[in-house]
A and B are shown apart, each in its own frame.
Chain A
Amino acid sequence: MTARTAAAQRVPVLSAVDVTKVFGGTRALRGVSLDVLAGRVTALFGENGAGKSTLMKILAGIETPTTGRVLLDGEERRFGSAREAADAGISIIHQELSLCPNLSIADNLFLARERRTRTGGVDRRAQQRAAREVMLRLEEDLDPATPVGDLRLGQQQLVEIARALLQDARVLIMDEPTSALSATEVDVLFAVVRDLSASGVAVVYISHHLDEALEIADDVVVLRDGALVAQAGARDVDVAWIVRQMVGRESDSLFPPRHPTLGDVLLDVRDLVVVDPRSPERLAVDDVSLQVRAGEIVGLYGLMGAGRTELLETVAGRNPVGSGQVLLDGEELRGSIADRIDQGVVLVPEDRQRDGLVQSMSVGRNLSLASIAGLTRRLLLSPPRERAQVAQMVTDVTVKTASADAPIGSLSGGNQQKVVIGKALMTQPRLLLLDEPSRGVDVGAKADVFDLMARQAEHGLAVLFTTSEAEEALHVPDRLLVLARGRLVGEFRRGELTREQLMSVSDGAPTTTTPGATS
């Protein structure tokens, strides 16, 4: 470690000791020990599914470890809830926003910790004053009475951050706090983080934006497949070192070279506009045109809220087209999700627990679910045919399972993802849409998933997938499209782009109008 680190500063406030966490069939953490030091920013790196968020949730008292201990000021603590941890001075900013869109900024900031008047009522004026102050600290001059649902995603994320700031925490855990922030907003946030750190707060910082996180960090910790694999001072390492530790091998071996043979244009999206299904006053996809050829793998890269998911869901038939056209093989795609599956378009959703799998069904039945109508003979299912096709698919997508009758929950995250992909492939699609296919899967399964995509593309399948990981965006697709705030801001061939260029492009050109203004 560097000499500038005075021994007095190295006081662990919060420690994880030999922490293991098991979810269903997945080991999220295996014997991780980590000290969080007062007055320092510890950056935590790792791929999706490496266990970063789980470790943070355990430190913040949201999850209890399967085995191992959490120490606060050297004493073992078992927090019963996030509230208990917060009362002990540990504050967490979640990757997913946990705000109530119907409530105002001030009400959200003080939710469950309302300021009281002498008579016991809510002291709204004090709350509004404090809310305005804390938002100004983040350089957002907003009326505290504004409903959070009316704010841009980036501003919502700042409200989330402000809520943690208000709690005067001794330990502040930030899980992807900048995923929806612009470059200037990130600068403001970093100034605040440096202030906090200088005043003795221990900060844990998680981000996919490696160089950004490296900029703010004092110490660097890398997780891979649930284990802590490397630890160093931020001054001693660079982005390439971090990537090596995260992936565990050179990235070339994870992404083998491809020599695609492209067919005709299969998917042709023209001037597509999609209204955000969650907040109808803004546009999720704003005038996007793109094409995917048979045999081609096209990647869609963008930050949270860039409109990737909405774009894929619109092609799959889950969201209505606002305006513009979606053509498959020259004909307009219409009808329900089921109709589009019949026409050869199928979506592998981002959230496999919520949208991909039926937990109460077996591995085999999940696999055959989307193609079950095609496995019938005189109205009834043919069990031997179903078994044979399921067995074939288990082999094709290399699902590791005890049997096809095993409960789906007994599989690891990566194998569950292969089941969702296998289910989609069993419909014999021409166009495969994958939304964040590598999310929450370990490195080995990730390589399998990309290999699977490549093999299917060789047989003429058109693949359109989204990713928020720069490594994947740079190496997997034949062609990469970059989305920012619903707009297409760049198109690149493989090898044309560096990581740094990708980061700056995906922040969105400052000249683009805010999406809300056009609706």
Chain B
Amino acid sequence: MTTSERHPAPGIPHEAVPAAEARAALARERRLRVLDVAFEARAFIALAVLVVVFGILSDSFLTGSNLITMTRHVAINAVLALGMLLVILKGGIDLSVGSIVGLSGVVAGELLRGLRIDVLGVVLYPPVWVVVIIAVAVGGVVGTINGLLVTRLRVAPFIATLGMLYVARGTALIISGGETYPKLAGEPTLGNTGFSWLGSGRPLGLPTSIWIMIVLTVAVAVLLARAPFGRWLYATGGNERAAELSGVPVVRVKTLVYVISGACAAMAGLIIASELTSAAPQAGESYELNAIAAVVIGGAALSGGRGNVRGTLVGAFVIGFLADGLVLLGVSTFWQIFIKGAVIVLAVALDQGQQRLQRRRSAASAVVRAAAPLTPAPTA
């Protein structure tokens, strides 16, 4: 044994683990910690890179009006992604949200066109706020079915919501007969105007859809951070058996996330229908994938229990700004699709990479602790 080994570095008293190994582990732990922080902030870094690159390449990217336009696009995906985040935190997935977007638009279109009740020989024209409530409730009902399939019939979330993807889309096509509902602005004589406010209103100077995104973001953030439901959700996603033995109403939590996700999707469907003042049954096709991508880019684990609102919101901005920036640069549609796919795969790969990194990091710090049991884990 050499002298240096008999006198290990300060803070690492020799015990069961040789000092040289402990020192190496400490260095490894420090290096991994830096990497981990970079991984953690990967969504922010990606967004910053996008803004800088597109800002340089295009004169119109960083203008106020373009930022507002892009954020309006982001808002729709963000509303979907916030619901999706809850489902993913539970350890599930919701593939049906894109179809719910289409269905909720169709429901709104049907109601605004007038509800024909043949028995009474009358046509009812419900006011817009009733239309909104009913459409959102329809989304909630689809979500409830998802939830019951998963919790009661124990169908895997992927399969249950894949089924509902088709059922909801089919329902939208059946109700509409495959036709688009035009002119959803309503008529003053019927007292059902105002639907276009969701899409083109600008309270306090910002588009309504952006306000909806902001309000929902705050609501979900408070739900996760301050409501018992949020804690139950993280626990259920992290370890369902432990949660159940701790008295967490696991079935209720698991069902409710799908209900919220469905309602969020319906809200997004209304925003789209309102912006276009028309509702197509095909609206929202493949939107579920954008929402999942936003959540995953935002650092949530598909296995559940890990993820947050901040990350998901940044993820939605990355997806939205990337798509619009590429359009602005005149990149071909085919390449846009290609690039989006690559980004999603990269995001999931990075997520796995981060988890491996964290395991390696805790292994390294375990060795350090084993060498120095009485000194707390060193801080940077």
Contact = CB atoms under 8 A, between A and B. Distances in A.
Interface of A: 20, 22-25, 27, 29-31, 66-67, 226, 316, 318, 336-338, 341-342, 346-347, 349, 354-361, 365, 368-370, 372-373, 375-376, 379-381, 383, 402, 409-410, 423, 427
A215 B165 CA distance: 66
Contact of B362 (A358, A369, A409): A409
B247 interface: yes
B244 interface: yes
B248 A338 contact: yes
| Chain B interface bracket (under 10, 10 to 19, 20 to 34, 35 or more) | 35 or more
A405 to B, nearest CB: 13
A372 B366 contact: no
Given A358-B234, A360-B238, 14 more contacts: A25-B369, A27-B373, A30-B15, A30-B370, A316-B245, A318-B244, A318-B245, A349-B245, A355-B239, A358-B235, A358-B305, A360-B305, A368-B231, A381-B227
B47 interface: no
A24 B246 CA distance: 24
B228 A372 contact: yes
Interface in B331-380: 362-363, 366-367, 369-370, 373, 376-377
B17 interface: yes
Given A22-B367, A337-B247, A360-B234, A380 B227 contact: yes
Given A354-B241, A381-B231, A427 B362 contact: no
Contacts of B239: 354-355, 357-360
B11 to A, nearest CB: 15
Best-buried of A25, A316, A342 by chain B (most CB within 10 Å):
A25
Interface string B248-289: 110000000000000000000000000000000000000000
Given A381-B226, A402-B377, A358 B242 contact: yes
Nearest to B304: A360
A256 to B, nearest CB: 27
B16 interface: yes
Contacts of B243: 358, 369
A337 B245 contact: yes
Contacts of B369: 22, 25
A133 B15 CA distance: 50
Given A20-B370, A23-B366, A369-B243, A376 B21 contact: no
Given A25-B366, A338-B247, A373 B228 contact: yes
A342 B89 CA distance: 27
B63 to A, nearest CB: 40
Contacts of B23: none
B156 interface: no
B33 interface: no
Contacts of A373: 228
A373 B252 CA distance: 14
Given A27-B16, A30-B16, A354-B241, A67 B21 contact: yes
Contact of B247 (A27, A29, A67, A370): A370
B242 A22 contact: no
Say whether chain A's binding surface is mostly helix, strand, loop, or mixed. Answer: mixed
B362 A24 contact: yes
The 4 closest A-B pairs by CB, nearest first: A30-B16, A358-B238, A370-B246, A338-B247
23 contacts: A22-B369, A27-B370, A27-B373, A67-B17, A316-B245, A338-B248, A355-B245, A356-B242, A358-B242, A359-B238, A360-B239, A365-B235, A369-B242, A369-B243, A370-B246, A370-B247, A372-B228, A372-B231, A372-B232, A380-B222, A381-B226, A381-B228, A383-B226
A423 B246 contact: yes
A426 to B, nearest CB: 10
A379 B227 CA distance: 6
Contacts of A23: 366
B18 interface: yes
Most chain-A CB neighbours within 10 Å: which of B231, B245, B373? Answer: B245
A370 B362 CA distance: 27
A357 B18 contact: no
Nearest to A381: B226
B370 A22 contact: yes
B306 interface: yes
Q: Of residues B16, B21, B228, which shows the largest number of chain A Cβ atoms within 10 Å of its Cβ?
A: B16
| Most chain A beta-carbon neighbours within 10 Å: one of B15, B239, B246, B376 | B246
B244 A337 contact: yes
A376 B241 CA distance: 24
B306 A360 contact: yes
B242 A357 contact: yes
A342 B17 CA distance: 47
Contacts of A337: 244-245, 247
Contacts of B227: 376, 379-381
Contacts of A372: 228, 231-232
A365 B231 contact: yes
B231 A369 contact: yes
Contacts of B373: 27
Contacts of A380: 222, 226-227
